Structures are given as structure tokens and as C-alpha cells.
Amino acid sequence: MGLRTTIDAGRPCAEDIGRRPARRATGWLATAGAWGCRLLAAGIAMTMMAGAAFAAPACSGERRLQTNGVNLIRTENAPFGSPASRESLARLAKLGADNVAIVPFLWQPGPHDPQIGLGSDMSLDELRVAIAAAQAAGLDAFVKPHVWVPQTWAGAIAMPDDAAWTTWFGHYRTALIDIAQVAADAGATSLAVGTELVQSTGRPEWPALIAEIRAIFPGTLVYVAHNADEAETVPFWAQLDRIGVSLYPPLGADDARQDWAAAMADQLRRIAAVSRKSGRNVWVAEYGLRSAAGAAAKPWESAEERDAAADDVLQAAVIAEWHCQFDPAVVEGAWVWRWFTDPDAGGRTDTDFTVQGKLAEGVLFCHWRGGC
């Protein structure tokens, strides 16, 4: 639907957002909540229209998806079940989210090392608490394991020979079965059997592993491919309930709005073809970028990889453009990357991916609520 500056003047924005006055003075909701929805909508639109490159996209038709959420990341100062994490989840629910992707990390010492297991950031007991915390906030839980590999990413994982792959899948199976059992017992509604394991998906171990997880977990099963390139090559979509994808294609220069739209449309056109072929709807399990200058060229790039000036206008504009490009007939749900359990994370001077306390938080509010 895009961002509009017309709203129901009688609609109480503070009730909709539901957050008490923020401890962080720079938070977007801290400045908008008490002033009403008109300031929220107008503030987003005016900031994004400060330059032609960041004008709010004009979408035709209703673009709200069936499922809307974030990738929820635990911080050390706000563990799941703590008052701080409950505040963060309540704020998210009031924004209009209905689902959170909970991310337990598996750890692997190197991309060619077959030793992989559940990491130390979230134990199985903590995963159980996280699912319960999401449910208490009125949010469905999507359990989405990631593999953490130091200095690189999951897509770099590649074993040197079949014997090493057999070992790797044996360890991965053990960790995934444990995660699936907790997810099932705790009532999570969906589970990813893998995320961005690009060089593994052609392996013959996958069908048996998916069947084993299916026997444990009664909810929706998905695999999360990296961009359309991987989605087009995954051979086991028929065994799953949804096509999952993370979307981080190069978009171009920060001021090249038409280039962004073309890159996004190309990704979604190709993924739609996979959807038609498999008979499965699409979940965009990750999308977003840093709130930093230059981030459009490499939306996957982390703050640790490159120093840059903060630019939350760019982040908000790119996320708004994705919302315009998503076709609800194909894309059933989308989860932005990312949101922290710390309610005071982010802020307009932050250059990380989180949307908290930034203009993008207002963009999500408008999109999830069906307009501003």
C-alpha cells in the first residue's frame, strides 16, 4: 500500500504502539507515540521524501502479507523471560507483528570442519523459554536455526569428501532433532530444517533428514535458501510446506531507487517461478539491510565488515520498497532482519541491521497495520 500521510485522526497511536515512554530519547516511537499517528505517518513520509531518491514508493493495492514478523535475536542483557525481553516483545506485538523467528545458533569451527553442534548462545532450555515468551506476547514462534562459522557464513560450508559430509550430517542431524523436539513440545508453529546451507542442498542426506524431522515436528516445515540463486536449485521443496528464502541481492547505489526495484523484482520473479513449479507459497525468512551509508550495494554486509555513517533513511526506504514488491499472492509471509530482545537496542545513530528506534520501525508499523 505504501506510506500515506492521511490517517484516522481519532485513532490513538499510543494505544496502537503500546509502549511506555522510552528510556532512549532518540527512539522513533519515543518521539512519535505520544504525539499521535499523524506525526508518525507524516514524520516517516517527510523524512523519506527529503530527497527524491528516498520518496515513499507508490504501491497499488493492499500489500500486507498473511504473516509478518522479525528475526528475534537474544542479547546478553535481555535474556528470554526477563522483564526487558518481555518489553521488547510487547512493543513488537503492538507494532502489528504476529510472528517471530527465533534463531538458535549452531556452531562450526571452520567451513570445511565437519564438527558442528548447538552453540552456547541459546541452550535447549532457553529455546523453550523463548518460544513461551513469544506466545505470551501473542506471537507465533518460527524456530529458525542458523550455523555460525567464524569469519564467514553458512553458505561457505563445504566438506572435502563424502566421508566428511557423512560426519557433518550426522552431527547436524543430532542438533536438529533436539531443536525439533523442543519446538514441537513447546508449541512452535513452524521450523526451518536449515538456513543458507548453499553447498549442502544437493547432498543425498537431505530427504531422509527431512522425513525424520517431519515425524517429530507437526507444524510447518521450511528450508531457507539464499536468494533466488539457491532457491532455483533446491531439489527437495516437495518435501516441505513452504519455500523459504533470504533476500540480500545487490541493489545498487544508495540513490538508485529504480535499480533497487529492478533487482528486487528480478529476485521475486524467479522465486515466483519456483513457487509455481513446486506448488508451495513463499516465506521471505530474511530481508533488510544495515542503517548505514553504502548498504544498498551490499545488503548482507555487517557493521563489523565496514565502518560507515549512520543512514536510517536509506534502511527505511529499502524496506518500504521490498514491501511494495512483495506480491501477497506469492509471498505469504516475511520476517525482517532483525530485532533484539533488548528494548533499547538500535537508535538512529546505530549502523547495524536492527530496525529498533529507527525510521524503519515506523515503516513496519504502517505495513503491518495496513497503512498509516
Give the DSSP letter string of 184-233: HHHT-SEEEEEES-TTTTTSTTHHHHHHHHHHH--SEEEEEEEHHHHHTT
Confidence check: pLDDT of 106 > 90: yes
Q: Please, which pLDDT band fits residue 64 given cuts at 50, 70 and 90?
A: confident
The model's pLDDT over 326-342, given as tens digits with 9 standing for 90+, comes to 999 999 999 999 999 99
Judged on CB neighbours under 10 Å (0-12, 13-18, 19+), 153 is middle
The pLDDT tens digits for 219-261 are 999 999 999 999 999 999 999 999 999 999 999 999 999 999 9
Q: In the chain, pLDDT over 70 holds for what percent of residues?
A: 83
Backbone angles phi and psi of 222, in degrees to 5: -145, 155
The pLDDT confidence band at residue 56, using thresholds 50, 70 and 90, is low
Residue 182 has pLDDT above 80, yes or no: yes
What is this structure's pTM? 0.87
C-beta atoms surrounding 216 within 10 Å: 16
Is 28 a residue whose pLDDT tops 70? no
Confidence tier at 281 by pLDDT (50, 70, 90): very high
Q: What is the pLDDT of residue 59?
A: 64
The pLDDT value given to residue 58: 59
Give the span between the Cα atoms of 209 and 192, in whole angstroms: 12
Question: In the predicted model, what is the mean pLDDT of residues 206-217?
Answer: 98
Cell of 319: 524496506
Check if the beta carbon of residue 353 is closer than 8 Å to that of residue 288.
Answer: yes
Q: Does position 196 have pLDDT exceeding 80, yes or no?
A: yes
pLDDT of residue 38: 35
Decide: 144 and 285 in contact? Cβ < 8 Å.
yes
Q: Where are the domains of the chain?
A: 61-368
- Asked whether 244 and 283 are in contact (CB, 8 A), the reply is yes
- What average pLDDT does the chain have? 87
Rounded distance, CA 210 to CA 225, Å? Answer: 15
- The 10 Å Cβ neighbour count of residue 24 is 16
The pLDDT value recorded for residue 24 is 37
Specify the pLDDT at position 60: 55
Task: Kindly state the helix (H) or strand (E) to which residue 319 belongs, with its residue range.
Answer: helix 312-325
Strand partners, 287: 247, 336
Note the pLDDT tens digit of each residue in 75-105: 999 999 999 999 999 999 999 999 999 999 9
pLDDT higher at 84 or 8: 84
Secondary-structure class of domain 61-368 per CATH: alpha beta
Cis bond before residue 280 (omega within 30° of 0):
no
Q: How confident is the model at residue 152 (pLDDT cuts 50, 70, 90)?
A: very high
Rounded Cα distance between 293 and 120, Å, is 33
